[in-house]
Structure 1
Amino acid sequence: MEEIKNHDDDNNGKDKVEESFFTKMKRLSYELGQQTKAGIVSYYRNWRYIQDVIKPKRNAGITLPRKDIIHLKTFKTDSLYWIPLGLYSFIPFSAFGLPIYVKYLSSILPSTFSTRQMIVDRMLTTQKYRVKLAKILLGLFSRQQQDEIMNGIRIQDLNRTQLILLSRCIGIKCIELKSTKQLKQKLKDWEKEIIKDNQLIIGEGIDKLSIEELQDISYHRGIHFKNKSYNQLIDILSNSLSSTTPPLHSTSSSYCFSIISNLIDE
């Protein structure tokens, strides 16, 4: 009788383990299904917003607010991320691996497939990597040169290695095959774009931004936003935007290197 009882206990334990496993799989499948559905629906809504709101504004010659400009840029980037998913779908039996793709490769899916927390976590991870790159970049210069950098060294004075590191620090992608001339132009274009964005933010009012927008703006300017409150980010960005907005015709890379300064100032 004792042996039979022990045998029954073992079976009950196995059933609980199996039940627990299948319960977890069922929950995971449901969560991924909801995540996929939300990603597709949100992407479609973003597209509809462009068709119904942004395009009519453009056709009427109305100047787009910063929110709409960011919406267009984000949608354009999200659209490109459908390409790897499309290529993946051509792999035989790829449908079985789709949940894994959605769960572990969300960084190469449209942003609509990620929760805000997932996006923040990725930004923080990338920022840690950029801090390391920034320290490596500064290590290539002497102490005197580092002081000159923070005061605004010119982009054309940098060599290819320095240009690549600087580009990676500020988030410019796909740079490995570009020539030195192309890298310099990329950096100058990036600086002009970020300065225009600064002017838009100041013009529309930084106090009108949401906490999510403040985090995104901080991230793109190398400012550490982790554990910062709304008011703290407002204060930090108010000082940063007003002190680092050189004229658009400026030939210095002072704004690029202000990003490096922000990254190192942890």
Structure 2
Amino acid sequence: MLRNIGKKNIQSYKRYYCSILNNNKNLSPSSQQQPQQQPPTNNYRHNYFSDVQNYKPYEDDNILVKSNNNEINNNYKKNHYHQDQQLISVQSNLGFIGSLKNQMEKLTKITKNGLVTLWKDRSFYKDILLPKSSALNESFTKRILPTFPIHNQDSFRYLTFHERKSIVSYRIDRLSMIPLSIFLSIPFSTLALPFYIKFLPGLLPRGFSERSQVLSRHHKITSLRRRIVEKVIEGYGLTNEINELAFKSISDITPLKLKPLQYKLDFNLEDMKRSKLKKYCRILGHTTWFNSKSSLIEKFLNSGSYTIQENEAIAKEINELTFEDLQDLLYSRSLEYDGLNYYDMKTKFLNYVSLLKSISVIEDGEKDLALNPNTNLSNRHQSHFYKQYLILKIVLIHYQV
């Protein structure tokens, strides 16, 4: 009996997901923009259950585009206005029952989208991505990890940006199902499921979150990093030096302006306490749970060089990135994206690529910080690129450029 119910639910989830997918195909921004090229949307696989596509047109940063046909929208509003008003009045009269019903309907919608998206991602990962990633020669342990190994340069050679992103994202989603499964195994836990979805969205697969919730998490994590950065700046007494730089945009930042700060921070990694290493790694955007000191040092030393190689691979596919891709990309580089349109975000990322490359050339980071697992720690200390990379992160987060 339970098996039949499960089959029916999955079939209904598939029908629901397909309808959303078909509706989202008709969504496109307006055609009158400054650059003629529009942000691509067909390669963005994850359609959140919000009925509004989460990209903005060039001419207006504050309006979300629902359709490129205003006449259809106006006719729809005229035909359905009175029906919507009647529905609102009935729901308001129901009071608590109506509110509870709305919450349950939304919860059902979230759950359907989350499960269907996870199932579709699993099929896509198993049938398409996994055969391609087999060229990477990953071990079983590496396959269950949520990110690519820091030394794996082959991922840029065999996989596109969206393929790499989909593999990493699915692995994270797969791991996030573990706490959800444990939670649902508790008797009567389904009664608390709305609270789990509302207050712990980070412990759920992506399909359970609206795009607005993803952006909200971006802002929260960035705020946490900013507090860590301010503590580091105050701890080293660098408040005046940092404020004197007065960077207003990423175009104002140059390697020579960052160079004096290199001698003000502590980079004696062998004698550094684990707590300080954790701060450095969190500023760089790494998780530090269950990491030994040697693992933290490994992340700290290799992060900048890995980012350079990833930047170069992404720059070749920059025109294939969607609006959401660029938002996620700027967030991962500690760059602000609020109020920016598609063209501005793309330009900002390319400026960042150029800046980081110039820092690497000056510090000779490409040679001494090559992603080679056999390179010992003392040789990596011959280059100062990893120091400048941390300083750049501190400046970007502090000035919110």
TM normalised by structure 1 equals 0.83
Cα distance between partner residues in 1 of 2:367 and 2:165:
20
Q: Deviations over 1:176-199 (max 9, x none)?
A: x54433321122243343222112
Aligned CA distance change for structure 1 residues 115 and 71 (closer, same or farther; 3 Å): same
**Contact in 2 for aligned 1:222/1:260 (Cα 8 Å):** no
Matched, 1:49 2:124: yes
Matched, 1:198 2:198: no
1:17-166 correspondence runs (5 A) = 19-58=94-133, 63-143=158-238, 148=259, 150=261, 155-157=267-269, 159-160=272-273, 161-166=275-280
Deviates more, 1:161-170 or 1:186-195: 186-195
Report deviation, 1:52: 2.3
What amino acid maps onto 1:124 in structure 2?
A: H
Cα distance between partner residues in 1 of 2:391 and 2:356:
10
Cα distance between partner residues in 2 of 1:91 and 1:149:
56
Aligned residues: 250
**Contact in 1 for aligned 2:281/2:288 (Cα 8 Å):** no
2:334 is matched with which residue? Answer: 222
What do you get for the CA RMSD once the two structures are aligned?
2.8
2:351 is matched with which residue? Answer: 239
- Higher helix content, 1 or 2: 1
Deviates more, 1:22-31 or 1:90-99: 90-99
What amino acid maps onto 2:219 in structure 1?
A: L
**Contact in 1 for aligned 2:92/2:98 (Cα 8 Å):** no
% of aligned pairs identical? Answer: 22
Q: Which runs of 5+ in 2 are unaligned?
A: 1-90, 137-156, 243-257, 361-365, 370-379
Cα distance between partner residues in 2 of 1:190 and 1:38:
34
Report deviation, 1:59: 5.2
**Contact in 2 for aligned 1:137/1:162 (Cα 8 Å):** no
**Contact in 2 for aligned 1:192/1:248 (Cα 8 Å):** no
Report deviation, 1:90: 2.1
Q: Deviations over 1:236-262 (max 9, x none)?
A: 111101221332743431223322211
Deviates more, 1:83-92 or 1:244-253: 244-253
Cα distance between partner residues in 2 of 1:261 and 1:118:
27
Report deviation, 1:26: 0.3
Cα distance between partner residues in 2 of 1:184 and 1:149:
23
2:66 is matched with which residue? Answer: none
**Contact in 1 for aligned 2:135/2:158 (Cα 8 Å):** no
Question: Tell me, what secondary structure is at the counterpart of 1:71?
Answer: helix
Aligned CA distance change for structure 1 residues 183 and 149 (closer, same or farther; 3 Å): farther
What amino acid maps onto 1:258 in structure 2?
A: L
What amino acid maps onto 1:208 in structure 2?
A: E
Question: Tell me, what secondary structure is at the counterpart of 1:122?
Answer: helix
Cα distance between partner residues in 1 of 2:327 and 2:181:
31
1:262 is matched with which residue? Answer: 396
Cα distance between partner residues in 1 of 2:135 and 2:302:
28
**Contact in 2 for aligned 1:149/1:257 (Cα 8 Å):** no
Report deviation, 1:98: 1.4
Cα distance between partner residues in 2 of 1:191 and 1:32:
41
Cα distance between partner residues in 1 of 2:196 and 2:133:
37
**Contact in 2 for aligned 1:159/1:180 (Cα 8 Å):** no
TM normalised by structure 2 equals 0.56
